[in-house]
């Protein structure tokens, strides 16, 4: 199990959080998505045998919520 917490600067409201959670939950291998519109932080857990961080990052970019470079 892989986990990562990262900042998404484009989060501005609860709808943004809902969109991120819904889109990421549709990826095979995602086991947990938590996001906060106040801190703009997202925490993910996923099965690394099914999904890579690069795939997650690519989806976030496609839906206009790119993660901040760390």
3-state secondary structure 17-43: HHHHHHHHHCCCCEEEEEEECCCCEEE
pLDDT, average across residues 37-62? 96
Residue range of the domain that includes 44: 2-62
Looking at the predicted structure, is the pLDDT value of residue 52 above 80? yes
69 domain residue, yes or no: no
- Average pLDDT over all residues of the chain: 95
70 domain residue, yes or no: no
Looking at the predicted structure, is the pLDDT value of residue 5 above 70? yes
55 domain residue, yes or no: yes
56 domain residue, yes or no: yes
Domain count, the chain: 1
Query: What pLDDT, on a 0 to 100 scale, did the predictor assign at position 70?
Result: 58
Query: What pLDDT, on a 0 to 100 scale, did the predictor assign at position 69?
Result: 77
Query: What pLDDT, on a 0 to 100 scale, did the predictor assign at position 26?
Result: 95
Looking at the predicted structure, is the pLDDT value of residue 40 above 90? yes
């Amino acid at each position: 199990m892989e986990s990562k917490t990262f900042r998404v600067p484009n989060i501005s409201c609860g709808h943004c959080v809902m969109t991120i959670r819904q889109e990421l939950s549709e990826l095979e291998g995602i086991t947990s998505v938590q996001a906060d519109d106040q801190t703009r932080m997202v925490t993910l857990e996923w099965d690394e045998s099914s999904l890579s961080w690069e795939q997650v990052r690519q989806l976030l970019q496609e839906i206009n919520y790119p993660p901040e470079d760390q």
